[in-house]
A and B are shown apart, each in its own frame.
Chain A
Amino acid sequence: MTTISRRDLLVGAGALGLAASLPLSARAAGSLTAAIYPGTWEEAYRGVVAPALKKSANIDMAFDSLFAVDQVAKVRAARGVPPFDCFVLDPGPAAAAMQAGLFEPVDAKKLTNAAKVPDGLITSHGVTCNAQVVGIAYNPKKFPTPPKSWADLFKSPYVERLGLTGFQTTFGTVSIIEMAKAFGGSIENMEPIFAELKKAVAKAAAVAAPAAMPGLYQQGQIDIMYTNTNTVAILKGRGVDIEFVKPESGAITFQTTLHIVKGADNVENAYKYMDTAISAEIQGALQQQPYNMIPINKDVKLVDTLDIKSVDELTKMVTHDWTKINPVRAAWIERFNKEITK
């Protein structure tokens, strides 16, 4: 940890005084503040995107590390005084933010790399910067034959080693929807899966917070979970016994998107940031270890650590309409609470 020198103390005290005299901090012309997920995403964007943007456009980037749900909560609470210029969001929180009117519109013409991105990935209010692929992760040392389908997760011997999470994350929500389909349900009819979940929770190795899953897996408390390829690749890269398997009904894909916050200070810089993030050079760098992010730029040749072969493969995967999910999600969460609780 850093040692506290006298000089540091003076600098700190000086910074405090300065900040006090400038309550609305004046921002330099060439700066941009972006929210970023804590962990690998922050490392990747600090280490790769920020230096590239500094080099190409002389923009100084600052990152506010926040999970997607917290970004939306923070901007909602700070209405009118946006705490940062750009969001990075998964579809669930993105749909909620869209509904709450927290985005500036995006003009694709201002992005030089727009043509390199498959159709539909740049919308009127957001720019896709990364694809996520969700399926089943398992320990190959414990299970020589992995589960093949979502329904298998509820069967012996898999269910006894399964780590269950609920609807609070995007990957958890879409996984449970696919499980519902496997048992004859749909977004409109979740009855079958709630019946299965109720039976499964008594047998499952853990019913836990998503944050606890990597730790539980690493300590051998669970051997199967549903998660994205990014998590699997990162853990595998660090020597953990973990493999990804696509369920028979197909892996799920959804996009991670960048958005400009309504009323942002640095809209022009935000475009440059988004344009840099989707460039072939950056997308190519972010797919490498230890970041393992699936690229969306068509010019990028995919590395073989990603569990998918090409960007085109994404178009054949299962997708979901979050404008249909969000209105019913609160009720699912409430029901999960009530039925899963001891």
Chain B
Amino acid sequence: MAAGVAAAAGGSASGERVDWRLAAPLGLTYLVFFAAPFAILLGISFYADAEQTRLGLDSWTKFYGDGFYLKVIFDTLKLGVFAVAATTLLAYPLALVFRASGPKLQRVLIFVILMPLLTSVVIRTFAWIVILAREGVVNQTLMGLGLTAAPLNLLQTELGLVIALTQIEMPLMLLPLLTIMNQMDQNLVDASRALGASKWRTFFKVVLPLTLPGWIAGATLVFASATTAFISQSVIGGARLVYLPALIWQQSTVVYNWPFAAVASLTLLFTVLAGIMALGWLGRFARTH
């Protein structure tokens, strides 16, 4: 192991080739514990019927030949994009405030940021029912302020779900962003300001590009997590919003159509991976320009 770690220092410094010795331990673990189950899933998807008696592409053609399922894919990805957009919009300002704060306030902020992770998904769904319900906290506040006469319906809507996901996923965006922001060189920010750039310009031209690796890491985690958040999607989103994870659950445990569930799972995997690779590509594009 020491030799492997030693290679790392050189590897990251010269950085030309993948150091396979370092990638091997995780790679082999995945090969046994992930690639093999994945291959089984792929195999099952080529059964034509729920009873798994005939081979064929029927499950694939049924899934991709039906406009409803295409819309479910689209809605799932859209939900991921909304979650990334909402967490980004709130996480960057929070990270900037964090950076500007003194050590004491920073400690409090870190605790606040970690809080959503400390409430289990089970009880969190209850909290969101309380907040978003017709007689819930948001509606009582809005009506108390006279902003709306009739209660808004937020529970079991896409808007309500995105709000809830924003809270749940925000730590996934903030933790990588904060670590990168702490590594950022303050001199560059000061220099930009000293040269007369406005705060907005400094943010977009200096802070944003420097912290992009952190954002990409965060966005990757948020996107992956929001698109697969089965419990939040079904309890807060309700039965009128159908996303891929709920479909997979129905097909694999209620009607036992495993080939169809496998097709839906692989579709989720590949579409979300494509989204994540696009994020990575964006990162390299930004770095080279």
Contacts and interface: CB of A to CB of B under 8 A. Distances in A.
Interface string A321-342: 0000000011001001110111
A262 to B, nearest CB: 16
A17 interface: no
A100 B257 CA distance: 12
B240 A342 contact: yes
B135 interface: yes
A49 B75 CA distance: 47
A208 B250 contact: no
A173 B155 CA distance: 24
Nearest to B233: A209
Nearest to A201: B240
Given A69-B254, A220-B135, A209 B239 contact: yes
Given A206-B156, A212-B129, A341-B240, A73 B255 contact: no
Interface residues of A, number: 34
A259 B64 CA distance: 39
A177 interface: no
Interface in A209-225: 209, 211-212, 215-216, 219-221
A139 to B, nearest CB: 13
Given A96-B256, A164-B239, A333-B254, A208 B156 contact: yes
Contacts of A209: 234-235, 238-239
Contacts of A167: 254
B125 A215 contact: yes
Interface string B239-252: 11110000100101
Interface in A184-206: 201, 205-206
B126 interface: yes
A70 interface: yes
A166 interface: yes
A214 to B, nearest CB: 10
A100 B258 CA distance: 13
A340 B240 CA distance: 6
A168 B252 CA distance: 12
Given A206-B156, A341-B242, A212 B253 contact: no
A207 interface: yes
A150 B5 CA distance: 68
A341 B256 contact: no
B85 interface: no
A165 interface: yes
Contacts of A216: 129, 133, 155
A37 B94 CA distance: 43
A205 B151 CA distance: 12
A100 B51 CA distance: 9
Contacts of A211: 234-235
Contacts of A212: 125, 129, 234-235, 238
A208 B238 contact: yes
B136 A219 contact: yes
A72 interface: yes
A244 to B, nearest CB: 23
B158 to A, nearest CB: 8
Nearest to B234: A209
A300 to B, nearest CB: 33
B257 A207 contact: no
B250 A168 contact: yes
B55 to A, nearest CB: 19
B113 interface: no
B130 interface: yes
Contacts of B250: 168, 333, 337
Contacts of A207: 156, 238-240
Interface in B211-249: 234-235, 238-242, 247
A76 interface: yes
Interface string B122-148: 000110011001111000000000000
Contact of B247 (A72, A165, A337, A340): A337
B265 to A, nearest CB: 14
B133 A208 contact: no
Given A212-B129, A221-B135, A341-B240, A206 B254 contact: no
B34 interface: no
A340 B155 CA distance: 16
A212 B128 CA distance: 11
Contacts of B257: 330
A182 to B, nearest CB: 21
B133 A220 contact: yes
B86 interface: no
B256 A221 contact: no
B161 to A, nearest CB: 12
A174 to B, nearest CB: 14
Given A220-B133, A330-B257, 19 more contacts: A72-B253, A73-B253, A73-B256, A201-B240, A205-B134, A206-B155, A208-B238, A209-B239, A212-B234, A215-B129, A216-B133, A219-B130, A333-B254, A337-B68, A337-B242, A337-B250, A338-B68, A341-B241, A341-B242
Report, nearest first, the 6 A-B pairs whose CB atoms are least far apart: A330-B255, A69-B253, A209-B234, A221-B133, A212-B235, A208-B238
27 contacts: A70-B253, A73-B252, A164-B239, A165-B239, A205-B134, A206-B155, A206-B238, A207-B156, A208-B239, A209-B235, A212-B129, A212-B235, A215-B129, A216-B155, A219-B130, A220-B135, A221-B129, A221-B135, A221-B155, A330-B255, A333-B250, A337-B242, A337-B247, A337-B250, A340-B239, A341-B240, A342-B241
